[in-house]
Amino acid sequence: MAEYTSILIERKQRVAIVTLNRPRELNALNFQLVAELATALEELDRDEAIGCIVLTGAGEKAFAAGADIKEMADKTPIEMMIGGFESWERIRRIHTPTIAAVNGYALGGGCELALHCDIIMASDNARFGQPEIQLGVIPGAGGTQRLARTLGKYRTMEMVLTGSTVSAKELEGLGLVNHVVPQAELLNETLKLADKIASQAPIAARLAKEAVLAAFDTSLQDGLEIERKNFFLLFSTKDMREGMQAFIEKRKANFQGK
Ligand code: CO8
């Protein structure tokens, strides 16, 4: 693995835990951190031993309190454009299932990073928000689009136009957070879910993720087409033979990722 200064990586069997590690700045996302994160996620994505990636923040206060305002404050539009925004596109293209374990504030780019993940677990003290409007800007890493697709127009407008934060509990009810758990149990509960995902047939998990994400990018017809093609494609895998044979023989499947 490459050397990283702003993130930590830990492996637990088939699960990788990536921790945003700038706790004194509430894990504010400077350009270096986001670039490191993109590189690390790509490395883990290529690693066949990893079946699920958990993303969390160091400390008890924040997942990430947004883009680093001190770094951004005197930037020009061109500097913002060439400063590394493509890292977000790289994060978006990760095939391995990802889970955000949101352990406190997920604000601005921090909320958007959680929204890049496939599942969002949150501690009971977690708060989400897009406070950019209070800084004279708007979300820039997908917040307006991903929130609108999940929460609908009206709740999204309220969040984006006021910058007010919303509790994890409320967002659980609105379908944006999968489960809210006490902070002390967040990582363990997330790892249980991650283990379960990582124990599935890996190619099926990737193609399932791709098919679900297609629902956000394509028409229903195109999405159905992608699902069907992925479904047929899986009949070329050894894991599909193994999964069905194991069912017939009433034993646990032993998936190999082939
Ligand atoms: N950037 C830089 N430093 C930060 C940030 C941030 N986003 N958030 C917190 N910090 C720093 C504080 O400056 C402080 O440092 P210091 O001790 O040196 O003064 C330290 O972290 C602790 O923070 P606070 O003292 O403020 O802690 P509080 O508990 O009083 O408050 C809050 C916690 C409410 C989270 C508060 O820190 C806050 O409001 N933070 C800013 C939240 C925000 O506005 N986020 C949006 C940023 S804009 C954005 O995300 C645009 C996204 C565009 C795409 C992504 C590109 C990467």
pLDDT at residue number 53: 98
The per-residue pLDDT for range 168-184, each reduced to its tens digit, is: 999 999 999 999 999 99
**Residue owning the nearest CA to atom 22 of ligand 1:** 25
pLDDT at 84: 80
Tell me the residue ranges of DSSP E strands in the chain.
7-12, 15-20, 52-57, 62-64, 98-102, 105-107, 119-123, 127-129, 166-167, 179-181
Average pLDDT over residues 174-199: 98
The answer, yes or no, to whether residue 7 has pLDDT greater than 80, is yes
pLDDT exceeds cutoff 80 at 1:
no
Q: Which residue numbers are catalytic?
A: 67, 109, 112, 132
Q: Where are the domains of the chain?
A: 7-199, 202-249
pLDDT reported for residue 235: 98
* CATH C-level class of 7-199: alpha beta
Closest atom of ligand 1 relative to the 107 alpha carbon: 45
Ligand 1 centroid to Cα of residue 141, in Å, is 17
- With contact defined as beta carbons under 8 Å apart, do 189 and 54 qualify? no
**DSSP assignment of 67-111:** B-HHHHTT--HHHHHHSSTHHHHHHHT--S-EEEEE-SEEETHHH
Which fold, 202-249?
A: Lyase 2-enoyl-coa Hydratase; Chain  A, domain 2 (1.10.12)
> In the chain, pLDDT over 90 holds for what percent of residues?
97
- Determine the atom of ligand 1 nearest the C-alpha atom of 165: 34
Reported ipTM: the value is: 0.98
Kindly state the percentage of the chain with pLDDT values over 70: 100
